[in-house]
């Protein structure tokens, strides 16, 4: 959580700052990290007023539950409070009020409960320890886009308001998305992000995972250092959770280049300076990138991977740059979709 991390510059295995904007998500994750648990305990003891503010704000988000995902996020946060009662023993009647308020919200929104949608995680996978988070994980959207007369299909999580786009997304949630993207490009992300990505891959590509020979690769950033900062800890953790091969080193940048905007202006081939391992042949690749704008990079990397003998490619991006043209969702729908994700992150 940003408030916690501003006071405690926690580090994860990749050496990056942990950014979790959601306090109760941090409490949940602390069950699996002694370091984070210590920081949570210290934060609660030092700034109880801030804790009350954060929990109140998070609970308030569920006053009007209007969809299944928010119902399960509300249920998840209720469980986090109940499972961590020892952390809140100094909050007396407030703790009880939080619990009963969430129970009340859930009872009023019971029509959104859908037990048929429950996903059973393979008990042999490390992801299973986060199975109780599963029902509240946001759904990625899938889009097929025409690029240079050819189709690409990709999954994405956020709608991104680029500072270079004339299409303006004015709701404050899109400022959060923009901050999320900026943080990611600077090598910082919430430790809950790899869980979200791993769970999405498990649910959507479960049949593919069972076939085996799956590896997680990236579209390299403009410099090798940026790729390292953004993706190295992320692919390692996702691969570990799913028990698949970490293919971070299969597609690497050997020659640094200018950023994507300058590259577009000068018409430099996106594959220039990139090296593909011969070990990719025959593999089923899940290809990860941060932001998709025009789709040129995804198309070119997909084409080249096929030339390298890859059996299949499945594209996932964290955010898609928003353009009004071609968008088929109303603004309230876009706001609701993006806002729901930040109820968890």
Predicted pLDDT of residue 11: 41
pLDDT digits (tens, 9 = 90+) for 116-131: 566 889 999 999 999 9
Do the Cβ atoms of 116 and 122 come closer than 8 Å? Answer: no
β-bridge pairing 312-321 and 284-292: parallel
Query: Rounded to two decimals, what is the model's pTM?
Result: 0.86
Please state, rounded to an integer, the average pLDDT across all residues of the chain: 86
Count up the domains in the chain and report the number. 2
Q: Give the Cα separation of 257 and 263 in Å (integer).
A: 8
DSSP string, 310-328: -SEEEEEEEEEE--STT--
Among residues 109, 130, 156, the one where a domain terminates is 109
- Residue 145 three-state SS: strand
| pLDDT for 117 | 62
* pLDDT of res. 175: 79
Q: b/e per residue, 279-311, with b = 16+ CB within 10 A? A: ebeebbbbbbbbbbbebbbbbbbbebbeebebb
Residues of the chain with pLDDT under 70: 1-21, 115-118, 162-170, 258-267, 323-328
DSSP 8-state symbol, 62: T
Q: Give the contacts of 157 (CB within 8 A, at least 6 positions apart).
A: 138, 140, 141, 196, 317, 318, 319, 341
- CATH number of the domain enclosing 217: 3.40.50.2020
Assigned domain for 132 exists: no
Answer yes or no: is 298 within a domain.
yes
Cα separation, 314 vs 286, in Å, equals 5
What's residue 167's pLDDT?
A: 55
Residue 239 lies in a domain: yes
Tens of pLDDT along 162-213?
665 555 666 777 778 888 888 899 998 888 999 999 999 999 999 999 999 9
**Domain around 236:** 141-344
Residue 121: inside a domain = no
Calpha distance 287→302 (Å, rounded) = 9
- 32 and 91 assigned to the same domain: yes
- In a shared domain, residues 103 and 146: no
Domain-located, residue 236: yes
Do 209 and 338 fall into the same domain? yes
Tokens of 127: 């992801």
Asked which of 87, 109, 131 is the last residue of a domain, the reply is 109
How many of the other CB atoms lie within 10 Å of CB of 145?
16
Q: How high is the pLDDT of residue 2?
A: 44
Supply the pLDDT for residue 16: 41
> Which pLDDT score is estimated for 108?
96
The answer to the question of residue 38 being in a domain is yes
Is residue 152 located within the same domain as residue 95?
no
**Would you say 133 and 76 are in contact if contact means Cβ atoms under 8 Å apart?**
yes
Unique residue bearing structure tokens 């009647």: 93
The CA-CA-CA angle for residues 338, 341, 345, to 5°, reads 135
How many CA atoms within 13 Å lie on the side-chain side of 265? 5
Residue 204 forms part of a structural domain: yes
């Amino acid at each position: 959580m940003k408030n916690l991390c501003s006071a405690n510059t926690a580090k994860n295995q990749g050496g990056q700052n942990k950014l979790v904007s959601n306090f109760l998500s941090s409490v949940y994750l602390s069950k699996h990290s002694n370091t984070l648990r210590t920081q949570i305990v210290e934060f609660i003891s030092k700034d109880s007023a801030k804790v009350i503010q954060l929990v109140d704000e998070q609970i308030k988000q569920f006053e009007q539950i209007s969809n299944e995902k928010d119902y399960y996020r509300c249920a998840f946060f209720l469980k986090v409070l109940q499972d961590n009662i020892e952390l809140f023993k100094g909050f007396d009647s407030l703790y009880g009020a939080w619990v009963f308020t969430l129970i009340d919200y859930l009872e009023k929104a019971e029509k959104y409960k859908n037990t048929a949608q429950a996903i059973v995680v393979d008990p042999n996978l490390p992801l299973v320890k986060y199975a109780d988070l599963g029902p509240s994980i946001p759904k990625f959207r899938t889009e097929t886009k025409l690029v240079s007369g050819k189709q690409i299909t990709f999954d994405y999580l956020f709608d991104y308001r680029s500072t270079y786009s004339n299409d303006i997304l004015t709701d404050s949630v899109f400022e959060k998305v923009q901050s999320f993207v900026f943080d990611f490009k600077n090598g910082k992300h919430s430790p809950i992000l790899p869980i979200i990505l791993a769970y999405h891959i498990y649910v959507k590509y479960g049949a593919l995972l069972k076939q085996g020979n799956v590896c997680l690769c990236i579209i390299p950033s403009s410099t090798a250092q940026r790729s390292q900062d953004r993706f190295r800890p992320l692919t390692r953790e996702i691969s570990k959770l799913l028990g698949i091969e970490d293919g971070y080193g299969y597609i690497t940048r050997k020659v640094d280049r200018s950023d994507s905007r300058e590259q577009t202006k000068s018409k430099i081939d996106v594959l220039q300076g990139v090296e593909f391992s011969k070990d990719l042949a025959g593999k089923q690749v899940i290809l990860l990138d941060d932001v998709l704008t025009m789709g040129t990079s995804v198309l070119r990397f997909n084409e080249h991977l096929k030339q390298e003998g890859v059996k299949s490619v499945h594209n996932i991006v964290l955010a898609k740059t928003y353009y009004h043209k071609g968008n088929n969702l109303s603004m309230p729908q876009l706001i609701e979709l993006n806002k729901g994700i930040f109820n968890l992150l």
